[in-house]
Amino acid sequence: MSNQARTLIVFFNLKPGTSEAEYLAWARQVDLPTVNKLQSVNSFEVFKGLNILGQQSASPWHYFEVIHITSEAEFLQEIQGKEMQQVISQFQAFTSDAHFICTQDVATL
């Protein structure tokens, strides 16, 4: 685990039967503002997957999150708080097969 700035890229699908409208309302009203308030987060955005570039094929993932963090260790510590644990639990109720990939800008390698 590193204390260097990282970008988390999260890709996931909604669980079958999940209301997309309910997920989007929750993401806008709860997830985005709560995560963006964390001291270890520089920015947090959520993107809807549309299609494979140049093809009519749907994206294999419904949504993507991009979380720019100042420190992996600080972020992991902050998400242990009560408010973030509630957000995580709510996220898990909406989503399936979420993958959290920790990345680093190649220009900094």
> pLDDT digit string (tens) for 40-96?
999 999 999 999 999 999 999 999 999 999 999 999 999 999 999 999 999 999 999
> pLDDT digit string (tens) for 28-39?
999 999 999 999
**β-pair type (41-48, 95-103):** unpaired
Where do the structural domains in the chain lie, given as residue ranges? Answer: 6-108
> pLDDT digit string (tens) for 16-29?
999 999 999 999 99
CATH topology of domain 6-108: Alpha-Beta Plaits (3.30.70)
Q: What pLDDT sits at residue 1?
A: 59
Locate 46 and state its tokens.
Answer: 């959520």
Q: Which of 107, 73, 101 is nearest to 10 (CA)?
A: 101
Residues 6+ apart with CB under 8 A from 79: 38, 85, 88
The pTM of the full predicted model, rounded to 2 decimals, is: 0.91
Q: Which of 43, 24, 5, 38 is nearest to 95 (CA)?
A: 24
- The enclosing H or E element of 10 equals strand 6-14
Q: What pLDDT sits at residue 63?
A: 99
